[in-house]
Amino acid sequence: MAKLSHSLTAAVDGWLDREGKFYPCKFNHHDEAAGKLIKKLGLKHPPEYLGWIKVHSAGCWFFRADEYIGRQYVKITEAQNKWLFDNGYEVE
């Protein structure tokens, strides 16, 4: 989890994919949005298991994939890091 380092221009909840594309969702509706994204994009697994970041408008984000996914160790991408920084989130 990380905290907000400066004010967001548009505080919103959503999912941030590995390429830095943000998919907004209603406040605290990440699970519902994940189900829709799985169907819409044909994802084989929930976003959090694919290295996507769960972004909260409260100024924090969660990255579950810093654990092992299969046998591959996944870290935040430069595109995700840039989006988080550009949108006011602190990256550790």
Number of domains the chain contains = 1
What pLDDT does 33 receive?
Answer: 95
For residue 77, tell me if it sits in a domain. yes
Residue 72 lies in a domain: yes
Share of the chain above pLDDT 90, in %: 41
The answer to the question of residue 8 being in a domain is: no
Residue 54's alpha-carbon distances to 48, 90, in angstroms, are 7, 14
Q: What's the mean pLDDT in 49-63? A: 82
- 4 within a domain of the structure (yes/no): no
With a cut of 80, say whether residue 2 has pLDDT above it.
no
Domain assignment of residue 75, yes or no: yes
Please give the sequence-ordered ranges of beta strands (E in DSSP) within the chain, or none if there are none. 13-16, 22-25, 53-56, 60-62, 68-69, 72-73
* Domain range for 23: 13-86
Q: Which long-range contacts (CB under 8 A, 24 or more apart) does 8-11 make?
A: 8/57, 8/59, 8/87, 8/88, 9/87, 9/88, 11/57, 11/59
Q: What is the predicted pLDDT for the residue at 36?
A: 96
Strand order through the sheet with 60-62? 22-25, 13-16, 53-56, 60-62
